[in-house]
Amino acid sequence: MKNGLYIAGEWVEAEERFDAINPYTGQAWTTIPQASTEQVSAAIKAARHAFEHGWKQTTGLERARLLFRLADLLEESADEFSRLESTDNGKVIRETRVQMSLAARQYRFYAGYADKLWGQVIPLDQRDVFDYVSNEPLGVVALITPWNSPLLLLSNKLAPALAAGNTVVVKPSEHASATTLEFCRLLEKAGFPKGVINVVTGDYRVGQALVGSRDLDRISFTGSPEVGKSIAATAGRNLVPVTLELGGKSPNIIFEDANLQRATVGALAGIFAATGQTCIAGSRLLVQKTVYPQVVEALKQRAEAIRLGNPLELATEMGTVANEPQFLRIMGKIAAAMEEGARLVTGGSRASGPGLDQGFFVRPTIFADVDNAMDIAQEEVFGPVLSIIPFETEEDAVRIANGTRYGLASGVWTNDLARTMRMTRAIKAGTVWVNTYRVSAAQAPFGGTKESGFGRERGEAGLAEFLTTKNVMIDFSNDERDPFVVKS
């Protein structure tokens, strides 16, 4: 598989290419084009031309038909795309296959909105002035996606952007670009006009050229807080609005009255699913002291039984870390946690054995007796590393849960309804799960507070990110009036 850049509906070759590394084998499996600054500019110009000369005049019904067709094509190709994605980023195929279905659901969900972007009529104090509000597309938007779930996270942005009537330039992570480029073939089959969707790939230079453009109407970014801050600063100088979905250090809280079997499974899935490489990972597990020892022991046993292996095999429960720089970062965080005094319960090293030695495998790692002030509890690891923190009272749990710079997701395990209501109000996070964890839905808005970002994806709120409001006033009176006096 060898694709070029996708600009103005054409495949464009780049002067430079780089290897895409299969994290399971450690070997190159394809190459990815490195876009030049001029090619980034060409992609933006193509999107602008497509917007001004056709796409913004399309009806919602036309856009809906294209999005429904795209969803069908993605479902038909789900097995192929799940294999490509698992090869590219090491996520187990049992998850990437589900993600293709979830992405298709997103395109269908927003297709249903495309012909329902009606505004409202506003009654004014002036009886002879007719006022209405319309929702209109922004124009050209840049969509920047990470390497952990490329096609699913692209659907969070692309589906509402297209439904709203915008054109786009997509920049996937250089660590996982293959499926996004291949996805362009589905866009062609679906019948999207040339220039409506453009894809440029490459390293940070491509990202800098894209976000530095003055001809964008919004930037939507998913990634690290550090990069998000840099993008926001650059966009701010050009007065380009941004949506930022950044990192998390999410608290998953188990109270003594919870169903401990369900809570333990939820805690396990919350951190070790996707090899911990998800912004919503429940990486801080807060456990009430009365049940703390048994929860720690149960998690130790379950973590040690997780089956690591080839991501393309259905029996594999946890795959590799997506790339070598991330693998080295995780191992550094584990070493620092041990130096800091966290008690290693299990894991803490590179996994080895038959079928594992060539890949970027990290053993499922659990630290207990973690103090919330430790770096391992404060900084996002983005890997299969769980920090378990004991607490005594509900007030302690709230204080610890809110005691980081992040506010993305959280979980509460309890059978006490009154406690549920208190905790969901007290926790500072964009998402609070109760007696479940890591569940997503196209209808449910998603996003964070504090340094987890701002703006929302999914749901009706995600659509609003890609619309602008226009107010229209029509004076239908025949009265002559003083032009220097505001009519009242």
Measured in Å, how far apart are the chain's first and last C-alpha atoms? 66
Region 244-263: mean pLDDT is: 98
**Helix, coil or strand: residue 277:** coil
Same domain, 262 and 185: no
pLDDT digits (tens, 9 = 90+) for 387-401: 999 999 999 999 999
For the cut 80, the answer to whether the pLDDT of residue 425 exceeds it is yes
Percent of the chain with pLDDT strictly greater than 70: 98
> What is the reported pLDDT for 478?
85
For the cut 90, the answer to whether the pLDDT of residue 479 exceeds it is no
pLDDT digits (tens, 9 = 90+) for 180-223: 999 999 999 999 999 999 999 999 999 999 999 999 999 999 99
Same domain, 325 and 343: yes
pLDDT digits (tens, 9 = 90+) for 117-136: 999 999 999 999 999 999 99
Please report whether residue 477 resides in a domain: no
Q: What CATH number did the domain enclosing 384 receive?
A: 3.40.309.10
> What is the reported pLDDT for 2?
80
Same domain, 409 and 457: no
Which residue in the list 245, 380, 457, 465 is annotated as catalytic?
245
Same domain, 286 and 374: yes
| Mean confidence (pLDDT) of the chain | 96
Please report whether residue 409 resides in a domain: yes
Same domain, 242 and 256: no
Same domain, 178 and 292: no
Please report whether residue 150 resides in a domain: yes
Same domain, 124 and 61: yes
State the amino acid at position 34 in one-letter form. Q
Please report whether residue 285 resides in a domain: yes
pLDDT digits (tens, 9 = 90+) for 358-394: 999 999 999 999 999 999 999 999 999 999 999 999 9
> What is the reported pLDDT for 32?
98
CA 113 to chain centre: 21
Same domain, 334 and 278: yes
For the cut 80, the answer to whether the pLDDT of residue 314 exceeds it is yes
For the cut 70, the answer to whether the pLDDT of residue 488 exceeds it is no
Please report whether residue 233 resides in a domain: yes
Please report whether residue 479 resides in a domain: no
Region 158-183: mean pLDDT is: 98
Please report whether residue 439 resides in a domain: no
Please report whether residue 445 resides in a domain: no
> What is the reported pLDDT for 1?
67
Same domain, 161 and 260: no
For the cut 80, the answer to whether the pLDDT of residue 480 exceeds it is no
Region 413-428: mean pLDDT is: 98
Band of pLDDT at residue 486, cut at 50, 70 and 90: low
Region 261-277: mean pLDDT is: 96
Same domain, 211 and 255: no
Region 171-176: mean pLDDT is: 97
Region 466-470: mean pLDDT is: 98
Residues 6+ positions from 323 with CB-CB distance below 8 Å: 21, 23, 89, 147, 175, 360
Residue by residue, DSSP assigns 360-426 as: --B--EEEES--TTSHHHHS---SSEEEEEEE-SHHHHHHHHT-SSEES--EEE-S-HHHHHHHHHH
184 is catalytic: no
Phi/psi at 112 (nearest 5 deg)? -65, -25
Per the CB < 8 A criterion, the answer to whether 144 and 222 are in contact is yes
Same domain, 281 and 381: yes
Q: What CATH number did the domain enclosing 78 receive?
A: 3.40.605.10
Which residue in the list 95, 174, 279, 451 is annotated as catalytic?
279
What residues make up the domain containing 94? 5-246+452-472
Same domain, 135 and 257: no
**Cα–Cα distance for residue pair 300/239, rounded to 1 Å:** 50
pLDDT digits (tens, 9 = 90+) for 37-60: 999 999 999 999 999 999 999 999
Query: How many domains in the chain?
Result: 2
